[in-house]
Amino acid sequence: QVKAYAQQLLSAGNKTNQTLQSYAKQTNVTLPADLSKDNKNHLSKLNGMGGGVEFDTQYLDYVADLHSD
């Protein structure tokens, strides 16, 4: 279930990013080219986990933190 949820988030995020990039281009706004240091660290940690229940828990916590701001 977590994998399906992650795929939904990825699809929605890609669509949102395309819209944002188009708007930024129209308004001459430069978007960041890379992830923040914190996000890179979180993703590196997740990539090193290899899956399983612990990965699912950490991933869901990470996503919740991203969307709480």
For 58-65, the CB contacts below 8 A with 24+ separation are 59/2, 59/6, 60/2, 63/9
Tens of pLDDT, residue by residue over 27-69, are 999 999 998 999 899 889 988 888 889 989 999 999 998 888 6
pLDDT given for residue 11 in this prediction? 93
Residues 6+ apart with CB under 8 A from 43: 35
Structure tokens at 14: 């890609």
pTM of the model: 0.69
Q: What angle do CA 54, 58, 61 make, to 5 degrees?
A: 140
pLDDT given for residue 28 in this prediction? 97
Residues 6+ apart with CB under 8 A from 21: 31
Q: How confident is the model at residue 14 (pLDDT cuts 50, 70, 90)?
A: very high
